[in-house]
Structures are given as structure tokens and as C-alpha cells.
Structure 1
Amino acid sequence: MGKMIRTIVYVGLVFLINTSTADDLMNLVDIQGIRSNELAGYGLVVGLDGTGDKSQVKFTSQSVTNMIKQFGVQLDSGVKPKLKNVAAVSVTATVTAMLGEGQKIDIVVSSLGDAKSLRGGTLILTPLHGMDGEVYAIAQGSVIVGGLGAQGADGGSVTINTPTTGRIPNGATLEREIPNTFNDNQFITLNLRKPNFTTAKNIARSINALFGPSVAQAMTFASVQVSAPMNRGQRVTFMSMLEDMDVEQGKGKARVIFNSRTGTVVISQSVKISQVAVSHGGLTITIQEDPYASQPNVLARKGNTEVIQDSSIDVQQENPQMLVWPEGVDLQTIVNAVNSVGASPDDLMQILQALDVAGALNAELLVI
């Protein structure tokens, strides 16, 4: 049969982003002084079924030796224990803001050596340190591993997910509260997640409308300063009222984003173009290969049978259509016009690139 080769049109999606909507205040800002903190530590996972670190991982055997000495067991200097049931691991945790002493947090345990799996292991008592070097939590518990690894005698192996990383829900206990500055200042600073002058102005205006003039002031396009009660109970009530507040967002920056790998086009609603005329036509190239066998004449004394390729090429070009867009045309008009001529997302991107080069696209064009 003949082999046919055609040009491929990639299929993508066009998403319309509405950049001017009302949303909960706390979805728009982060509160300065209320933040999570990262903890990290070094520990040992024991009780593995021969899947621990090998003897060439020196720090594992040194850690086990030091741990045993703490329990009063002395080893000779020449003794080098071979431990297949122990793995050296890093222990990490994220502490959300304002957690108190004695509260539990989840931890993640990851192998540091060449252990094959942490399944069935138990993390022994491990201190977790902050950036200042102080111990803030103590971790211990049975490791839950979502991955699986198995190896046969012939060297074949099967691995599902990552068996060298696991979690311990509520595996660490906070020994001390991590200090924060939220209650130390008369003012609360709201940092906008998407800096915008109009959004900052609307936040300050909404707060002042509820609590009175001069309570909130927009400092920059990225922060709003709010005067709050110093009494902790009153401050909690104040923040609760802020959580229930809706704020109108300002218009975001006009952007057109094109993913060249997937053909996805994302256009913000504020994209507009200057007056311009666009002509775009599609080109389809069809190449058909029809191989056939060529044999020598029956009376010929010499010759070989060969396969000959018979190629036929067909080029078809659609009649290009001229589109005229007036000054300040909006996104919906652009998309409707492009869809009306049957253009694909790739065609749309080529049109937008041409508009950008011509200086008619009043938006930032980003190709990722």
C-alpha cells in the first residue's frame, strides 16, 4: 500500500482570563509576619529487610556507632559494623505559622545513601533544626512508603514510584514555638500576591469603608498598611472581619502566552489591537509513495529485481481571507474572527506574532 505523509496541525485550547473580578481579600494577599518555616534533620531508619545502605556508605556505620555509644555500648576501634537493615536519611518538615509547643507536624524522610527501599523501616529519635541552628521539633515513627522496589537473582528489577522516600504523618512534635512578628507591631502589612495599583487602592478603600478613615493606606502597588488593635483578642476579631471582605481586583497586565510544545494559547481579557488588516491562508502538502517491483525482461541475460518508489506530490492552498479589525477591538472579536475562518491555535499564534511585529498588538507576547 502507498504511504501517505501529511502536514500535522496541532490542537490546542484558548482560555479566556477575566482579570477584573471580586475575590476574598485573603486570596489576594499574604500577611507579613505569618509564614511557614522549614525544619531539617539527619537521622537513621532501622528495621529494614536488607534494603538499607551498603558498607561503602561510611557515614551510616559511623552514625550507628555513635548512637550505640550513647546507650553505653562500647565498640572496639577496629570494628566496622556491616548494616543492611539501617539507612541514613534526611528528615524535613514544614511548620505552619503560629503552631504551639506540643503540636504534631508531618515529616518527609528521604534516603541519603544507597538504600534500595525504606519500606517497613522506623525512624529513630531525630532532632529537627531551623535556620538558626536551634532544635524546634523531635521526629520519630514508622515510615510510610508509597513506592515499591523488587530485584530478582538474575539482576532484573521492578521499581514503582520512589521507595527511597516516605512520610510519617504527625511524625514530629514541636518542642518550642517559632517566633513571629505578627503581634509585635501596631500595623499589619498586607502583601499583594499579584501587585497592582488598582487592587491596592481598592483594598485600602474597602477596609476604610468598614472600619473608618485612615485605618488602611496603600503604601505601594504591592503592599497595604493597616492599623490594627494591639490587644490579641481584638486583633483576632479584626482579622476575622478582614477575611470576610470582598475586594475588586484591578485589571492585570495584557498578555498573550503561547506554549510551543502543546500549542496552547492563553490570552488575557485586556488584550486589544490597533486597526489592522490580516490575510491568512493555509497550505496543505500531500506526499504519496507507491512502491512497485521492477523486473528484468524475460529474454535479458542480466538484471536484478528492484523496488522502485513512485512519488506523487500534491500542493493545495486555501483561498486566503482578509480580516479587517478596527482600532481597539477586544479579545472576543479577535477569537470569533479567527474561528470563523477555521484557523487552528497555531494559526492564531502566527497571526498574533505578526500583529506584534507590526506593532498592532497592545499586549506582551510570551512564548514558553
Structure 2
Amino acid sequence: METFWEAFKRQGVNRRDFLRFAFTITGLMGLSPSMFPEVVKALETKPRVPVLWIHGLECTCCSESFIRSATPLASDVLLSMISLEYDDTLSAAAGEALENHRKEIIKKYWGNYILAVEGNPPLGEDGMYCIVAGEPFLKHLKESAEGAKAVIAWGSCASWGCVQAAKPNPTTAVSIDKVIKNKPIIKVPGCPPIAEVMTGVIMHIALFDSLPPLDAQGRPKQFYGNRIHDTCYRRAFFNAGQFVERFDDEGAKKGWCLYKVGCRGPTTYNSCGNIRWYNGLSYPIQAGHGCIGCSEENFWDNGPFYQRLTTIPVPNVEANADKVGIAVATAAAAGAIAHGVISKFRSKNNKGGE
């Protein structure tokens, strides 16, 4: 299989643009600039990695996010960075031809391909709540994972179970790690995950032939190492005790902290605050809506979304200039009155002493 650099040259990409791309990818993977030479070398020498992308119970929002990647473009990812061999949503082929190709890829690249899973398997009724190519997705998942060198759980559906696994969970939907026990799984939660995060995870595996550093829950540390609260541009208002009380109040118009109207930023780990969405254009908090914690486990059952978390202490309201002025004036008036009372008291005492 051709290397990344060979794929770029085939498409007419010059050396300058190739190096610019390598620098972008270095930052996207959360690596330091000193790693840039190693990334260039890997792009020049490593073969593109075959990827199988399968779909269980889900809404396809992960794919929708991915194809809107702007840095790099989704087309560059698919055509130059990885070898997407199977995707029953994006593939031009369909039916038996596509399913036969999936089985051929599994045999041909046994132990060397990446399995990307979007959605989750329902265990109820022997998996009959989700059928792919005439068979339960549960079987589809096990068969596809058997020869993979690593498995990526795209989105909160595959990572945690998401809305399908929310109470009362009639289909007995579960996260994929409840089914796949013998393969390393990288969880990339979010509903959906950020496109550039998805690209960064794939590229790390492809270029370094290893998993990115993971936290205790199996999430890549470079993308899930901080709370949204830690990188939120509204954090200063939280620290100052300036909160939106209602979505139509003056605080909302001034862009104050959304914590009191339910924002889950203080308990949610993701890159929304720094990478944002659609080439850094915006994210829910910037658009005026609090984080609902979509990348956290069981977030559907952690509602209601518009009530604040009582476990997070709210700072005291910071006194603004007007309040300080009023307080000073009040204190001065009180001081003047007190001074007058004391003066009169002293005057009476002095007269009595005479």
C-alpha cells in the first residue's frame, strides 16, 4: 500500500503544501513542535492504514461531523491519509458486493486494519433490534473486530451507550467495550465528536503505529485532558460570580456564565472550548447554550439539562463599580450619622459634667 507522501504526490500536492499539512497534523494530534520532523518522516515512509467503518444503533451524527472536517478537509483524510475500505454510509458500492469486500479486507489485512465503530449493539432479542446486511449488528461487530489491531469507538453511542442505553433501555443497548473484550479500544465520545479530534486519533495510530495516550476511561488525553470549564472563554464570569439567571436576561445578553441555567462545562471533558466546531467557528456555549455534557457517560440520564449541578459551589457575586459606589456612599452616610450621634452624645456628657 502506498505511503501518505506517495498518495499526496499522486494528487499533485507539492512539497511545500505537504510540509504545511504535516505541521497542521502535528498540532492537531496535540504534539509539541519538536515532533514535527518525526511526523514528516512517518508521512514519508508509513503506508496508509486500512480502515473499516461500521454502523450500529446511531443517528449518523459522527459521520456528519467527520465529513465537515475543515482542518484537514474530510476529502484529504479519506483519499490521502487513510484507506477507507468499508463504510456502509459513505461507500459507493452496496449490497453483497460491499459486504464481500469487507470480508476480503478483513482477511487481507488481518491484524493491521483499524475498526471504527459508530453506534452501539443492542443485546436484546439476540441483537435483532439492529440488522446490517441481513444479520444482527452484534455479529457484524464481533466479526469485524476479530482481526483489527485497534478499535475506535466513535461518539457517545459507541463509547457509553448514549440515548439508546438511556433508561429504560428497552433494546438492552450497550457500549462496544461490553462486547469487544480482547482488543484495545479508543473512546472518542461526544454527540457527535469534533471532526478534528476524530482525524487526530486516526492519524496518531496510523503514523506511530500505537495508541495515543489514554486516560482511565480510555479517552485520548490530548483531547479529553481538560474540562470544558477550564478552556471556556466565559470562565472569568464564573470566577466573578456573574451568571445568566434566565436565557433572556441582561446577563445572557452580556455573555455571562451559563452555569446556573444548567451548563455542564465544570464536569465535562472535551476540546469544545479550544478546538471548537466547523474550523473553530463556534461551539454551544459560544452560541448561548450551556454544555449538556454529551461526551460524558450516561449524560442522557444526568438531566434535567437546565438545572445547575448542586455539587459545584458558586462563587460570591463580585461587586461591580456601581455596587462599590453605592456601598461607599452608604458607608459614608452611615459614618456621618454615627459621627453626629456620637458628637451629640459627647456634647450632652460634657454639659452634664459642667
TM-score w.r.t. structure 1 length? 0.17
Structure with the bigger percentage of helix: 2
**Which structure would you say has the larger RCO, counting Cα contacts within 8 Å and 6 or more residues apart?**
1
| Bigger Cα Rg | 1
TM-score w.r.t. structure 2 length? 0.17
